């Protein structure tokens, strides 16, 4: 016998959640939508400026470029880590998983601050290069794209490792043994078996990382330069510096639509996968 | 000959994979590996590796009310957020798990969506909302915004706990005349204790570390530690930041280990 609750109990149990979400989630989001089209009267000036401003277009291009690059570097490193973890016994995996999970839980401010020390002009990396080359090598890594991508990759990696690890663990090891017995080399086994079978995890990880990077605010603000502004920084700029809430809201709605589309893709991919099973 | 080449290529492949994985681990840990030693170096300049050992920076942190005051504020916000997330999340997850009703899937998706919406958009919305209510720069505003942000994590954690327990125990209790509330407190809650604790730890840490929304809606009287830290990194890069970072890393490590220690027990019980 299934234990079910009657309607009245369900209503009582769900009311607090509904009130919270209505008052402090849906209402604020609705306000952003409303502000984007209303400024002492109905106006589309916000969206018109989004469509015509070269600054906003450039920032959109930046956002897309940085997001894609950070996702790719996360994919390469994340895949290697996931493969490494997948081959361990669950017992041994524990401490390695802590190495992946601790950064996941570390404040993004701590990480960004640490990277200002690691990447700065007199930072750890440049000191090392200095020592290695006797003062000849020097790389600018702060307040430019390198800094943003390094910082973002560090933030995104756990989100990439976990879904890939899950799909690697689901693979049937016998396929690998069979391929090996038939004479396939390790690279061939990887490209023909491991990689194709892990694509759902790769796909999920990439979409997750793209969604997260589109709305990234702290890392570009602290590690990037003026030319590395991303959409979130632009929203902040128009809200606080120029007090142009209409334009800020219009950009926010555009960002919301972009990430909404990515999330829809993610949900559909998951549904397809479940349908296949 | 052929076999030899295969062994060779396998060694190469293993080497490449392992090196890449270790670059990954090192890269993940790099921020903590650098910041923690530096914070014990003391002095006016941040140098790595530190040349001397001192607790000076920590002393500076605890002597400056501008710093530890914000830590107290963050603790208050995080505790209140966790309490609200429990009060709102526990009943809701129970309803989701034990009742089938029209729109329940949609409602669950709605409850999960704060995790999917870019925080900056939520921050802007909360800012406009609270400005209209004249409640920018209040603890209330931050706590409410954080409650929305942490609710998905609470729901995921508690739902996974509820999935592992047997509903027939609740039916038995009901047949024996226990009230719904008593059943929840005495039959359900003890069984899902670990997932509730995990959910609460998630909520506390996420709220304690949250910066984007807090930056939008706090002011001088309600500044949280991350907001203070953010402006300090932007405008002054004071050495105290290294001590703050170490303290925050220790907090994360404690919570992370606690969550990892609690979770396996749960999967064993299934």
* Model pLDDT, residue B265: 47
* Model pLDDT, residue A141: 86
> Which of A134-138, A254-258, B80-84, B266-270 has the weakest average pLDDT?
B266-270
Q: What's B210's DSSP letter? A: -
Contacts with A258 (C-beta within 8 Å, 6 or more apart), sequence order: A214
State whether B121 and A32 contact (CB < 8 Å): yes
State whether A259 and B35 contact (CB < 8 Å): no
* Average pLDDT value for residue range B138-158: 96
**Residues of B with Cβ-Cβ distance to A185 under 8 angstroms:** 6, 9-10, 13
Helices (H), chain B: 2-39, 56-63, 65-98, 104-112, 119-133, 139-163, 168-175, 180-183, 189-191, 193-209, 212-217, 225-235, 240-268
β-bridge mates for residue A38, sequence order: A42
Compute the distance between CA of residue B263 and CA of residue B270 in angstroms, rounded to an integer: 12
Q: Would you say residue B68 has pLDDT above 60? A: yes
Residue A276's pLDDT band (cuts 50, 70, 90): low
Q: Would you say residue B87 has pLDDT above 80? A: yes
By the CB < 8 Å criterion, does B247 face chain A? no
Please, what is the Cα angle at B108 between B182 and B264, to 5 degrees? 70
Q: Would you say residue B198 has pLDDT above 70? A: yes
* Model pLDDT, residue B3: 64
Domains of chain B: 59-268 (1.10.3720.10)
**Residues of A with Cβ-Cβ distance to B115 under 8 angstroms:** none
Domains of chain A: 49-276 (1.10.3720.10)
Q: Would you say residue B268 has pLDDT above 50? A: no
- Proportion of chain B above pLDDT 90, given as a percent: 65
By the CB < 8 Å criterion, does A95 face chain B? no
At B220-255, the pLDDT tens digits run 889 999 999 999 998 877 889 999 999 999 999 999
Compute the distance between CA of residue B230 and CA of residue B210 in angstroms, rounded to an integer: 11
Share the mean pLDDT of chain A.
Answer: 91
Residue B227's alpha-carbon distances to B220, B221, B234, in angstroms, are 10, 12, 11
State whether B124 and A249 contact (CB < 8 Å): yes
Contact B155, B89 (CB under 8 A): yes
* Model pLDDT, residue A1: 42
* Average pLDDT value for residue range A39-59: 93
> Which of A48-52, A173-177, B227-231, B242-246 has the weakest average pLDDT?
A173-177
pTM over 0.80? The answer is: yes
Q: Would you say residue A277 has pLDDT above 80? A: no
Joined together, the tokens standing for residue B240 give: 């105290």
Q: Could you tell me which chain B residue has the CA closest to the CA of A75?
A: B24
Compute the distance between CA of residue A55 and CA of residue A187 in angstroms, rounded to an integer: 45
Residue B267's pLDDT band (cuts 50, 70, 90): very low
Q: Which of A67-76, A121-130, A188-197 has the highest mean pLDDT?
A: A67-76
3-state DSSP assignment of residue B78 = helix
* Model pLDDT, residue A123: 83
State whether A236 and B256 contact (CB < 8 Å): no
* Average pLDDT value for residue range A256-271: 88
* Model pLDDT, residue B266: 41
By the CB < 8 Å criterion, does B180 face chain A? yes
* Model pLDDT, residue B263: 75
* Average pLDDT value for residue range B9-14: 84
* Model pLDDT, residue B2: 62
ipTM of model = 0.91
* Average pLDDT value for residue range A22-41: 95
Q: Would you say residue A2 has pLDDT above 70? A: no
Of A166, A54, A38, A144, nearest in space to A100 by CA = A166
Burial A263-276 (b: 16+ CB within 10 A, else e): beebeeeeeeeeee
Interface A-B, measured as beta-carbon pairs within 8 A, has a size of 259
Joined together, the tokens standing for residue B73 give: 């504020």
* Model pLDDT, residue B269: 38
Residue B116 has its nearest CB partner, among A104, A157, A263, at A263
At A102-140, the pLDDT tens digits run 888 899 999 999 999 889 887 888 888 888 888 788 888
- Proportion of chain B above pLDDT 70, given as a percent: 94
Compute the distance between CA of residue B99 and CA of residue B42 in angstroms, rounded to an integer: 58
Looking at beta carbons, which pairs linking A85-90 to residues 24 or more positions away fall under 8 Å? Answer: A85/A161, A85/A165, A86/A165, A86/A168, A86/A169
**Residues of B with Cβ-Cβ distance to A99 under 8 angstroms:** 25, 28-29
């Amino acid at each position: 016998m299934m234990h079910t609750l009657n309607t009245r109990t369900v209503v009582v149990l769900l009311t607090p959640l509904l009130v919270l979400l209505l008052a402090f989630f849906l209402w604020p989001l609705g306000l952003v939508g409303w502000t984007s089209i209303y400024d002492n009267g109905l106006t589309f000036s916000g969206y018109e400026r989004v469509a015509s401003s070269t600054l906003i277009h450039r920032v959109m291009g930046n956002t897309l470029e940085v997001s894609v690059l950070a996702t790719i570097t996360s994919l390469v490193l994340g895949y290697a880590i996931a493969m490494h973890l997948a081959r361990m016994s669950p017992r041994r995996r524990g401490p390695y998983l802590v190495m992946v999970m601790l950064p996941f839980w570390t404040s993004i401010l701590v990480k960004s601050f640490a990277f200002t020390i690691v990447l700065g002009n007199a930072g750890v990396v440049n000191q090392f290069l200095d020592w290695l080359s006797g003062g000849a090598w020097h790389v600018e890594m702060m307040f430019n794209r390198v800094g943003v991508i390094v910082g973002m990759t560090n933030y995104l990696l756990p989100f990439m490792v976990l879904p890939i690890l899950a799909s690697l663990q689901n693979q049937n090891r016998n396929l690998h043994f069979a391929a090996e017995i038939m004479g396939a080399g390790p690279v061939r086994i990887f490209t023909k078996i491991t990689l194709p079978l892990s694509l759902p995890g790769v796909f999920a990880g990439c979409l997750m990382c793209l969604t997260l990077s589109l709305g990234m605010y702290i890392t570009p603000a602290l590690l990037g330069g003026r030319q590395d502004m991303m959409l979130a920084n632009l929203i902040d700029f128009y809200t606080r510096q120029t007090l142009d809430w209409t334009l800020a809201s219009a950009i926010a709605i555009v960002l919301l639509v972009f990430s909404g589309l990515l999330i829809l893709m993610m949900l559909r991919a998951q549904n397809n996968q479940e349908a296949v099973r | 000959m052929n076999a030899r080449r295969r062994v060779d290529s396998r060694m190469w492949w293993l080497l490449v994979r392992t090196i890449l994985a270790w670059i990954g681990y090192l890269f993940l840990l790099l921020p903590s590996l650098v910041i923690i030693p530096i914070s014990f170096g003391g002095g006016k300049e941040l140098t790595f590796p530190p040349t001397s050992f001192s607790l000076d920076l920590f002393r500076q942190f605890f002597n400056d009310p501008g710093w530890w005051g914000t830590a107290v504020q963050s603790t208050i916000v995080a505790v209140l957020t966790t309490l609200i997330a429990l009060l709102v999340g526990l009943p809701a997850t129970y309803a989701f798990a034990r009742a089938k009703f029209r729109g329940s899937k949609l409602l669950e998706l709605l409850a999960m969506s704060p995790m999917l919406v870019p925080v900056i958009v939520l921050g802007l919305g909360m800012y406009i909302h609270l400005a209209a209510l004249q409640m920018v720069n209040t603890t209330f505003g931050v706590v409410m915004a954080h409650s929305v942000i942490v609710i998905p994590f609470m729901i995921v954690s508690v739902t996974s706990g509820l999935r592992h327990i047997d509903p027939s125990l609740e039916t038995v209790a009901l047949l024996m005349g226990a009230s719904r509330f008593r059943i929840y407190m005495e039959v359900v809650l003890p069984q899902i204790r670990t997932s509730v604790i995990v959910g609460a730890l998630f909520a506390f840490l996420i709220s304690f570390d949250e910066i984007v929304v807090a930056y939008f809606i706090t002011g001088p009287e309600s500044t949280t530690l991350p907001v203070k830290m953010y402006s300090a990194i932007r405008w002054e890069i004071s050495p105290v930041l290294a001590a703050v970072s170490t303290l925050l890393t220790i907090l994360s490590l404690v919570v992370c280990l606690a969550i990892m220690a609690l979770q396996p027990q749960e999967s064993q019980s299934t």
